[in-house]
Amino acid sequence: MFQADETAYRREVARLVSWCGHNNLQLNAQKTVEMIVDFRKVTAPLPPLALMDSPITIADSFRFLGTTITRDLKWEQTISSLIKKAQQRMFFLRS
């Protein structure tokens, strides 16, 4: 079952690369990261994903539209970032 899911995932990535090529869009493999969200108890290491023959780095978290998304889908990093910004702005109001 796991191998079938992996094959489908890689097929979708290949479709995305093909679609971008047909629509005159260029993917930058150096700026692309992969984040795997997997809540299974037993996980096997996955082979690295390659985009246009360039390996894609695996990230534990990334920022998207001001929100930090992590592998475990928890909110701690986003909340910490928001609290830090609020404290910085509150400091200017106190002065």
Task: Output the tens digit of pLDDT for each of the chain's 95 residues.
Answer: 455 567 888 888 889 889 998 999 988 888 888 888 878 777 777 777 888 788 888 888 888 888 888 888 888 888 888 898 888 888 777 76
d(CA 22, CA 16): 10
Beta partners for 54?
A: 51
Residue entry with tokens 């246009």:
52
DSSP-based helix, strand, coil % in the chain, nearest 5: 40, 15, 40
